[in-house]
Amino acid sequence: LKQLDKAAAAAQTFFEANPDHQEMQENLEKYRKMEGVKEEDFKDLEAQPHWVSYREGVELYQAEQFAESIPRLEAAVREYMAELSECRAQCEGWYHPPDYVYLEYQSHLYEAISDHYVQVLGCNQDCVRELATKPGSGRAHENFLPSHFYLLQSAYHKVGNYEKAVECSRTFLLFQPEDGSVRQNLEYYHSKLPAGRAAEILPREDINLHINESLLQKQMLYVAMESLGVPFNDP
């Protein structure tokens, strides 16, 4: 059909999810040599916005373009939280008990409600792993959301914005309160601000609420494991 732009995009999309596929890599190299094919045609049609922003932010940070990396990393945080909300909303779907057979499912109503709610909680928790798994990768990125704030606290320091550096450091420490390097950084950022100012700067409220909600869900799931024998693998 001679639609080379669509062919390039389709090939790139497949390759992102299958980076070891030799034939598709050869196809991409072939398309790049074809007349009329532009570099912007090689786009991942299934790219997740938060991963695109995160990758761009990390690349800019590693290139020491700190001022440019900050908007991309901040966008990645916003997009992550939006996609987390969407993922958890999708967990609230129709209830289909395992091995359900119409008129043969003998569970009492309260058992069915409990079972459903436990499944919703487990699904909500698994959204964290799902969003931290880059397309084409079989493993989740460890400490994915905290890593955004680790980079941000450093980037804000590099551009001299110590108030935001304090905020991002405190937000990171919500996840890993014993991290020695960030605690040392936080003390340094304190010294760069007027007396008492750093103490007024709190972690980000939306992230704090997210953590508290997630911990509460875990507590309920562990109770379900003990009382109902429901398996739960903490993501």
Tens of pLDDT along 132-161? 998 766 788 999 999 999 999 999 999 999
Distance CA 135, CA 51 (A): 9
pTM above 0.95, yes or no: no
What is the average pLDDT across 13-41?
A: 81
Give the tens place of pLDDT for each residue, 72-123. 999 999 999 999 999 999 998 765 655 444 444 555 777 777 778 888 998 9
Sole residue written with tokens 């680790």: 150
CA-based nearest residue to 125, from 87, 78, 163, 156:
87
What pLDDT does residue 95 have? 57
CA–CA dist 193, 47 (Å, integer): 40
Rounded Cα gap, residues 25 and 225, in angstroms: 46
Q: Are 155 and 70 in contact (CB under 8 A)?
A: yes
Percent of the chain past pLDDT 70, that is, above it, reads 89
Residue range 204-213: average pLDDT?
96
64: which 2 tokens? 């020491």
- The answer to whether 132 touches 145, Cβ cutoff 8 Å, is yes
Is residue 182 pLDDT above 50, yes or no?
yes
On whether the CB atoms of residues 46 and 135 are closer than 8 A, the answer is: yes
CA distance 153 to 165: 4
Count the residues in the chain. 235
Q: Identify the band that residue 191 occupies on the pLDDT scale cut at 50, 70 and 90.
A: very high
- Given a contact cutoff of 8 angstroms between Cβ atoms, the answer to whether 48 and 83 are in contact is yes
136 backbone φψ class: left, alpha, beta (φ>0; ψ -120 to 50): left
Task: Quickly state the pLDDT bin for 45 (edges 50, 70, 90).
Answer: low
What is the pLDDT confidence band of residue 171, given thresholds at 50, 70 and 90?
Answer: very high
What are the backbone dihedrals phi and psi of residue 140, each rounded to the nearest 5 degrees, phi first?
Answer: -75, 145
Collapsing DSSP to helix, strand or coil, 52 comes out as helix
Tell me the backbone φ, ψ of residue 197, rounded to 5 degrees: -70, -40
